[in-house]
Amino acid sequence: MCTLRFCWKMQILNYETNPCYASIFFLSLLFVLRETGFAIVIMGVSGSGKSTVAESLANAIGCKFVEADDFHAPSNKEKMKSGVPLSDSDRFPWLESLRNAIRENIEHGHNVTLSCSALLKKYREILRSADCNYQPGNYTQCKVKFVCLEAPVGVLMERMKRRSEQGLHFMPSCLLQSQLDLLQLEQDEEIIRIDATMRLGSILEFIIDLLNKNWN
């Protein structure tokens, strides 16, 4: 009921100023009435807009939003702040804590969105294991789905510099290239790839439409 109330309130507040929210409302309603216990991971490199999209998507479908940055150990944040990329030994405990957080929601039949870089397949496999029934390679049936936000390097760099100057994030722009070099996307993983330069409303509509059309 909380989900339906939120969706209805969002549609009433935004229909006049942004008609696309009417479409988002009906697509969201269709999804939340049918699907439960899903985790939707909004992934990509820094500056792609993961947190904004994941939180807005959570609001649209009335579910919990998990911010991966909140799960980093202080030592990880200090390392990145100093311009040093994280190693697998830094990342694995972080990813496992994220997996446990989304597993709790899945097991209780709750939908959840997560903003997380998830740059490599082996990192995504850790998150997919939040679904206790996941069989490696069976991406279609997995309850953990991935949406990758993509943007030109110049756009990403400008976003990172702007938020760094405003003191909004610990990640320096000098680490962007290391993330781009690390990013691994395999076609058979069924990762949805989206242009992150689109308007937020268009991104949300696109994601929720795909949730309804393509995902079990």
Give pLDDT tens digits for 72-112: 999 998 998 888 888 999 999 999 999 999 999 999 999 99
Q: Is the pLDDT of residue 127 over 50?
A: yes
Q: Which homologous superfamily does the CATH classification assign to the domain defined by 37-198?
A: P-loop containing nucleotide triphosphate hydrolases (3.40.50.300)
Report the chain's mean pLDDT, rounded to a whole number. 83
Q: What's the N-to-C CA distance of the chain in angstroms? A: 22
In angstroms, rounded to a whole number, what is the distance separating the alpha carbons of residues 212 and 75?
A: 40
> What is the reported pLDDT for 19?
42
Give pLDDT tens digits for 52-79: 999 999 988 889 999 999 999 999 989 9
Average pLDDT over residues 137-144: 93
Average pLDDT over residues 35-39: 82
Average pLDDT over residues 189-198: 94
> What is the reported pLDDT for 175?
82
Q: What is the pTM of this model?
A: 0.82
pLDDT greater at residue 140 or residue 126: 126
